[in-house]
Amino acid sequence: MSARLLFVVNDAGFFLSHRLPVAVGARAAGLDVHVAAPPAEPVERVRAEGFEVHTFPLSRRGMSPLPELASVAALTRLYRRISPDVVHHVTIKPVLYGSVAAQLAGVPAVVNAVTGLGWVFITQGWRAAALRAVVRTAYRVALGHGRSRVVFQNPDDRDLFVQSGLVSESRTVLIRGSGVDMEAFKPLPEPDGAPLIVLAGRLLWDKGVGELVTAARTLKAAGTAARFALVGDADPGNPAGISEAQLETWRRESVVELWGRRTDMAAVLASAHIACLPSYREGVPKFLIEAAASGRAIVATDVPGCREIVRPGENGLLVPARDAGSLTEALRALIHDPARRARMGAAGRALAVRDFSVEGVVSQTLDVYEDLLGGGGVNRGTDERIQRLGASRRAPDGRKVL
């Protein structure tokens, strides 16, 4: 009987955009793959991909005790009912609540994916500091499963968790991002016309959207011939979400173009000249990997996650976070220098192919499953194909780095 793998996510749409290739690869390797997510329209699209989907209640923004406990209870019942051999939690609430549920339900093995630290660790002020203390305690409890791995996308986040005593280093794994299909994202010549600067992602203040709007306003006021586009939806479920009223104000001002959510990111980047993400902190942003694979120069912030993709002066420019003035000058420099953009684009493509292919991420994640399934603690037999997956990789100090 095949080992059963259950993905638990806070948004079925996120599963489709960031975890689908891993799920497909796991299924091809012989695992019985299930997905759990809150009820929403994308759930049916996950089912259309051939996966059994289970829904459970989860508020991405809510903090009221009773609904949050109800989420833990629902996951516990789900785990007991379907008996997964390994559960893969993605993002903060699935990690925290799902890990507790896994311990209550006796799930043999757990993978926790920390895809970034989120608004709790980014937001400033005493309320955020108090909440961070609570979240750290919750992580310390949740990550205590005896047979588990915590997957980080960048070394800064991993080091923070290890140094804070939230997880032992021996249980950590580094997998840089979600990977990109290098055949789907190919470098194409820049289109004619005024340079187009694109920021793609959820429209959150902590993505640096406000700083980009300020930079666009400044550059346009100075007579710079350039266009600026925000590609993505508002995210009212996130405390850092930008309101529809604010977006409408920017729309009326015509300082930026609002393209909404797009599923054809290869075409979006083919139409762009510069990819921009002035985020306050990231895991490893898929948008920037896609931009590098598409041969586009990048302007981003010098923060964890963005630093994994941008080599300053080679494939892009890094500026301080929350600094609209520095962002403006970096964009101005590249807007007026197409030859430099072309050099940076070529360097970015080489970096993406070498370090960020989706095939590599799938193989590295399957190594984690193999490590957990092949080492005991699973009552039913595991498919022999899992045992034949690629060999584990280790850094010189012996720590697994995938």
Whether residue 113 is predicted with pLDDT greater than 70 in this model: the reply is yes
CB atoms within 10 A of CB 179: 25
Looking at the fold, whether 298 and 382 belong to one and the same domain comes out as no
Q: What is the mean pLDDT of the chain?
A: 89
Regarding whether 328 and 280 lie in a shared domain, the answer is yes
Structure confidence at residue 239 as a pLDDT band (50, 70, 90)? confident
Instruction: Identify the DSSP state of 3.
Output: P
Q: pLDDT grade, residue 393 (50/70/90)?
A: very low
Domain with 98 in it: what CATH number? 3.40.50.2000
Percent of the chain with pLDDT over 90: 75
**294 and 228 within one domain:** yes
Based on the fold, state whether residues 73 and 201 are members of the same structural domain.
Answer: no
Q: What is the mean pLDDT of residues 316-330?
A: 98
Average confidence (pLDDT) over 260-271: 95
Same domain, 292 and 382: no
Domain count across the chain: 2
Q: Are 185 and 269 in contact (CB under 8 A)?
A: yes
Mean pLDDT value of segment 329-354: 98
Domain residues for the domain of 108 are 4-179+357-387
Residues 142 and 209 in one domain: no
Please indicate, yes or no, whether residues 207 and 163 belong to a single structural domain of this protein. no
The reply to whether 159 falls in a domain is yes
With 90 as the cut, is the pLDDT of residue 128 above it? no
Return contacts of 187-191, CB within 8 angstroms, 24+ apart: 187/293, 187/294, 187/295, 187/345, 187/346, 187/349, 188/270, 188/294, 188/295, 190/273, 190/338, 190/341, 190/342, 191/270, 191/271, 191/273
Residue 34 dihedral angles phi and psi, to the nearest 5°: -120, 160
pLDDT range class, residue 126, cuts 50, 70, 90: low
Q: Say what the pTM is.
A: 0.83
pLDDT (tens digit, 9 = 90+) per residue, 148-201?
A: 999 999 999 999 899 888 899 999 999 998 899 999 999 999 999 999 999 999
Q: What is the mean pLDDT of residues 378-383?
A: 33
User: What's the CA gap between 258 and 93, in Å, rounded?
Assistant: 30
- Looking at the fold, whether 156 and 204 belong to one and the same domain comes out as no
Evaluate if residue 21 carries a pLDDT over 50. yes
